[in-house]
A and B are shown apart, each in its own frame.
Chain A
Amino acid sequence: MDINNLGVAMALLGAASAALLAGIGSAIGVGMSGEAAAGVVTEDPGKFGKVLVLQLLPGTQGIYGLLIAFITLSNIGILGGSSDVSFAQGVMYFFACLPMGLVGLWSARRQAMASVASIGLVAKRPDQFGKAMIFPAMVETYAVLALLVSLLAVSNISKIAI
């Protein structure tokens, strides 16, 4: 068996990891902050708009993971119908996708914890909504950095002739 035939499989594994791990993280995060949001809305339905924004913050990692997976699938030719990826390039795609997958998984969970705390803050002090948004948004920085690294790597692997 020609090892280069495994290149596309490795690249696909990377794309799947990015979508899978970041998606799991976001699902857990949005679920957790959704519970807190529901708790506040039970007592005060007027705060729905504010807590909804905070609930959605941990959902971005899943979108970033999807974006990396989509670009990877496009670059390796899965979406185009023909694929010509060497084993080395496949491994590179795999590692290029990992930052988004792993950081997405972890940061979504941690961001959800910050969101839950901020939902508690909004429940007691609705006038502090702007500040409450900042705490979970800080966690987003690291998801964006991971997105940037994965995006730059995935976009440029095809230019390397190995």
Chain B
Amino acid sequence: MIENGIGASVRRKEDQRFLIGKGNYTDDINVAGQTHAVFVRSPHAHAEIKGIDCSDALAAPGVVAVLTGDDLAADGIGPLICGVTVTSDDGEPHRAPAHPALAQGKVNYVGDHVAIVIAETRAQARDAAELVDVDYSVLPAVIDTGSAADSGQPQIHEVAPDNVCYNWPFGDKEGVEAAFAGAHKVSKLDLVNNRMVTNPMEPRAALGEYNQGMDEITLHLTTQNPHVHRLVLSAFNQLAPEHKLRVVGPDVGGGFGAKIFVYAEELVVGWACRKIKRPVKWNGDRTEAFLADAHGRDHVSTAEMAMDENGKFLAMRVQTQANLGAYLSTFSTMVPSYLYAFLLAGQYSTPLIYSEVKAVFTNTAPVDACRGAGRPEATYLVERLVDICAADMGLDPAEIRRRNFIPVDAFPYQTPVVQCYDSGDYPAALDKAMELADYSGFSARAEEAKSRGKLRGIGLSSYVEACGIAPSAAVGQLGAGVGLWESAQVRFNPTGNVQVFTGTHSHGQGHETTFAQLVCDQLGVPIENIEVIHGDTARTQFGMGTYGSRSLAVGGVAIARACDKLIAKGKKIAAHALEAAEGDIEFVDGNFSVAGTDKAMNIAEVAFTAYVPHSYPEGVEPGFDENAFFDPTNFSFPAGTHICEVEVDPDTGVVEVVKYSAVDDFGRLINPMIVEGQVHGGIAHGVGQALLEGCSYDSEGQLVTASYMDYAMPRADNLPSFDIDYAPTNPPDNPLGVKGCGEAGAIGAPPAVINAISNALGVRHIDMPATPEAVWRAAQQAAAVSA
């Protein structure tokens, strides 16, 4: 048994620097000669730009440059791109309007980028930005998701008639219609998945440096995927060739999806630093984060389920209108399509599913992945609909789920919507969650609450999600412009310590610890002698980064594969040194030994021998340093049941989450402490969506919730402590037996909360966020109906 190996809750290696204030976030980095940038942003949701006069700004104290879209175009810097093609129902690719990094003739949302002002200090840049005189001719704006494609709406982009990006029907329409026609019962629900602002606590930032001698740009960015940034900025934006562009994602203060994308500010800062031949730093403030970070969710849907007389699901039909905002963000098109409709089977054996997704443009910030991306939307829809089905059939919500679960012996299970689930035991998670939540004791607790004037409710959510997106060939067929493998390099130094280079990026997930545990476990090297390095294109060979809960399930396997290669090579070296046949060498707990003898050498000695090969096997290369790439054969399918219990104050509508229990299947846990932390954070994100977070624009496209004064973030006193447990299965497709865990909470929680509130109030549905006023109104109506 290896100390600090797989399964140990090792204290995190990264914590030391964060706890003593020595983290290294982008805004913490300052370089000689640095200038400061501020962006001039559109105050209008939709306007033509008649002219931009920069003369006053240029004359302001400290100003170095003021650059606009014309300058960008003159230098041939390309527009921002969307990396995934979705084919619309007319057989054409989705409509893709040009997305210039600085506006060219038109702005399309409040916060859209108009000019960059660069000065000696940030205050001077901000002072001068106010002096840039932009002549706008304001146009009518399209804001509302549900009506954006209605006739008579203003047109945002010429290439997208009726503001439609794509219409995407998916599934067996005729089969579903036939099943509905013959159904015993049809349950139906209209629901909204509320728009969220992702809100990692560190605002986005960029620092660009141009090395004239090497003709090389270095960009420090708040990124979840430095190599993807480099690839896109090089291949599509012509910023610099890949070998002349270094992207560093240093410590990053949370991402949750918002830092995947290639943003205008990043491209413009990279371009500007070369243009003015001085370093340029931009550090966004929270207001800019609200205005111009990609937002999440924002669906309007209708869902229907056809059932037989036993409440068995026969077919499901879904219509969704999804808001993509003003332009297509980097991965936006795939979120309401592949990441959404492919999850509509949920945990159930529903044989027929048909969905129609219409993705629309509006004069709002671009919408893209936010923790869960498409899967929370799918899960919310399915798990709300299932509760409606239970009500319509007069069944307990747990019972209707049980009747429809995919049976344990059916795995791997091919759903009717592309995905083939790897492993699962859904009844086990439900049973364990019900026990953890004391489901059977609920009615007594509800009675007790009633005596205090409170309405108590309980809600279930049995979710499945698809993460670790793969394999590359499959996503390529779907229209993705990239592969979704991961790379690793495991390098012994001659003195026996190990550097692990991963193409994933850690911004809170604890990879520096979890990945070190993997290597420690496999190679028997003490954990303190292992360092995990990530986030720098100049240090790590390549990588696809961190999102979609892929890092361990994909990146972790790449590390394990590199370790396999080291062990194989080590056996040759040890065999030579120990004067034995290679086939007689065993490797256990860091030691190469000759089977049946006491002859052995440890892996550090082997590494030293590899670098000082004075006596060395013929035909073996010196050095102890291996690379591996891993392309999975399937997604990873975490699943579980979450149970939320709430108390509602009917006089005010205030909802208190009084108990939250989660039982998840993440396969094998490498560091249970870290996994539990991921679950906690995900649940808080999901409870935030359900109760607090509602991004809101007014009819003119002004963002009403543009600060923490109006956008309610979950705080410590909004949440209880959580009860967490696991019901693991062994996913056959993953060599480490692991599943992703980063998004599960945000996927499972929203329907659990809303199901609980609906239960407490005795109402059919309430939209998110279930604000006090909304809950109060629902309580009033429920009381009026029952009176």
Partners in one complex: no
Query: B: which residues have CB within 8 A of A?
Result: none
A residues lining the B interface (CB < 8 Å): none
